[in-house]
Amino acid sequence: MSNLDIWTYAVVGSTFALYIGIAIWARAGTTGEFYVAGKGVHPVANGMATAADWMSAASFISMAGLIAFNGYGASVFLMGWTGGYVLLALLLAPYLRKFGKFTVPEFIGDRYYSQTARIVAVICLILASITYVIGQMKGIGVAFSRFLETSYDMGLYIGMGIVAIYAVLGGMKGITYTQIAQYVVLILAYTIPAIFISLTLTGIPVPQIGLGANYLPSDGSLTLLGKLDQVVTDLGFKEYTTQVMGSSLNMFVYTLSLMIGTAGLPHVIIRFFTVPKVADARYSAGWALVFIAILYTTAPAVGAMARLNFMDTIQVGPVGAEDGNLLYADRPEWFKKWETTGLLAWEDKNDDGRIQYYDDANPEFAEKAESFGWKGNEMVNVDRDIMVLANPEIAGLPNWVIALVVAGGLAAALSTAAGLLLAISSAISHDLLKGVFVPTISEKSELWAGRISMLLAIIVAGYLGLNPPGFAAGTVAIAFGLAASSIFPVLMMGIFMKKMNKAGAIAGMLAGITVTLLYVFQHKGIFFVPGTSFLMPELGMGPDWFFGISPNAFGAVGALVNFIVAFIVGGITAAPPDNIQHLVEDVRVPRGAGEATGH
């Protein structure tokens, strides 16, 4: 076992022991504790736990990798996954806290005086949450495959087992305290390497400032971003600071989809049920964003610096010079280790034993490349999701830092997977069984039904995770689209439109999620099963056919459809009964908020 292996086992092992210890210490006894941790979680503590719950494998493992390769275009993730908190704090959290129920479908069922609305909400919630868990599984699979030096599939199976043990043991209470510990681990794991790398490249220890600073290794006359723009365009790639994702319109819609999806995801909303007062719900969202912003403002530096170091590793000399490219035989240790996972792959197209990495889809540069004797881009697979985990190794940081990053990635993936599984299990056991089909179910059976549904969800998500519909962050973006198109509009209308009725809400949810699912499945396959996509180019339905909007960004369009359908259907059917209109007026005023209850 190498020194790095020992470090990794020690750090990952001790953090796991800590989480499991906390979970056992705070094990949930009653259904109330299982779902919302009773009362009395302080807003700062709740904010920190929400941040851990929120920042998943997509944020930790995947996002900076997407930033590294999409530059400015990846801003959609940065703005989308933070700006949603503004919507959450201003439009939903305080009112849902005042309403005082355990789950999101419960609010929808009561507000729209309809079990059907509640069931439709449960279905939407499960679709969004399962898709989200698939994204986590991809991240967990990547982390375990590298850490145990095995294939991605094997890493995924091991990850499924650990998530299962972990999530089934504790409920919300266990999770709240565990998640505070996980936040601390993941934020240290993210910022420490970023500080080291920023110091090396710019001499400035604050990555948020370092990203704009001068690049030291090149006599200090260029900024780091300027240098990066130069390095990537020299190899035919798009300019880092200006490359867009699809088009400006696509970026606009993508950002909107992630923002409203944030405010529609049940596992985040549920967090605001756990604070003692309405005023605390407002501040909790702010504290959550403080803790999230520490990672999100560091991520652009991590992405840019990782890309620069990665390019410099392969392109060791001037572009086109005979010895300008790294000899494959001289490739560093981290390169070999990622090759065993299959997530990094090289193919010697021109048989010169050197690695050429450039954009061969750029016709202008391809011509130039041919004159150098290059026969195509030889890095045939560079999985974006490996960048954060590989970053400290690429930068040559000490082994304990590398081990810490693996532990942080696992903390992020586990905490979110557990929170989502809890939302899925409460939707099934609390909303479907107790709320609709078997109202007489005992507390004990309800808990067991919750645990069994968690296990089923892990198996389904793990199976679909073998062929994920995209990189972890992309898959998670689809989940946000589903939440955006179904849950957010009915929650918002439920508070801000007294006259919105049950027919409008049900029709809106169904229409919104249906158009979104159709567009996503058309591109990515039915339930993401490979080979079942049904794009019809002959009918003008090629990739991104709807105004160039990508399926990952489509949730905002679905949400618009949801609003429009709800307005129309709600307008031509009977207004809600008086008691419901009074309920809405009551929700708008903070005084009189009791503890969260279930029924």
Residue of 534, 514, 513, 512 lying closest to 523 (CA atoms): 534
Min dist CB 400 to another protein, Å, is 29
Where b means 16+ CB within 10 Å and e means fewer, 343-380 reads bbebeeeeebebbbbbbbebeebbeebeebebeebbee
Q: Which residues are at the interface with another protein (CB under 8 A)?
A: 67, 72, 75, 78-79, 82-83, 85-86, 89-91, 94, 208-209, 211-214, 223-225, 241-242, 248, 251-252, 255-256, 277-279, 282-283, 285-286, 289-290, 293, 296-297, 300, 585, 588-593
Q: Is residue 4 within 8 Å of residue 403, measured between CB atoms?
A: yes
Nearest-approach distance from CB 203 to another protein, in angstroms? 13
Report angle CA 59, 62, 66 to the nearest 5 degrees: 110
> What is the C-alpha to C-alpha distance for residues 353 and 330, in angstroms, rounded to an integer?
10
**Minimum distance, C-beta of residue 524 to another protein, in the bound complex (Å):** 25
Asked if residues 258 and 80 have their Cβ atoms less than 8 Å apart, the reply is yes
Q: At what angle do helices 152-169 and 399-426 cross, to 10 degrees?
A: 60
Beta carbon nearer to another protein, 137 or 231: 231
C-beta closer to another protein: residue 588 or 599: 588
Closest separation in Å from C-beta 182 to another protein: 22
- Alpha carbons within 13 angstroms on the beta-carbon side of residue 249 total 8
Nearest approach in angstroms of CB 68 to another protein is: 13
As measured in angstroms, the least distance from the Cβ of 149 to another protein is 34
Q: In the complex with another protein, which residue's Cβ is closer, 3 or 581?
A: 581
C-beta atoms surrounding 577 within 10 Å: 12
Nearest distance, CB of residue 233 and another protein, angstroms: 15
Nearer to another protein, 242 or 573 (CB): 242
* Shortest Å, Cβ 67 to another protein: 8
Q: Which of 446, 457, 449, 452 is nearest to 421 (CA)?
A: 457
Q: CA 187 to CA 412: how far, in whole Å?
A: 9
User: Following CA atoms 515, 517, 523, 527 in sequence, which dihedral angle do they give, to the nearest 10 degrees?
Assistant: -160
**Smallest gap from residue 252 Cβ to another protein (A):** 5
Phi then psi for residue 541, to 5 deg, are -110, 65
Comparing CB distances to another protein, the nearer of 252 and 400 is 252
In the 8-state DSSP scheme, what is residue 384? G
Nearer to another protein, 151 or 208 (CB): 208
User: Residue 494's closest CA among 86, 91, 89, 90?
Assistant: 91
Task: Please identify, using beta-carbon distances, which residue of 155 and 481 lies nearer to another protein.
Answer: 481
Q: Closer CB to another protein, residue 119 or residue 256?
A: 256
293/316 with CB nearer another protein: 293
Counting Cα atoms < 13 Å in the Cβ hemisphere of 141 gives 27
The secondary structure element, H or E, covering residue 345 is strand 344-346
Q: Is 575 helix (H, G, I), strand (E, B) or coil?
A: coil
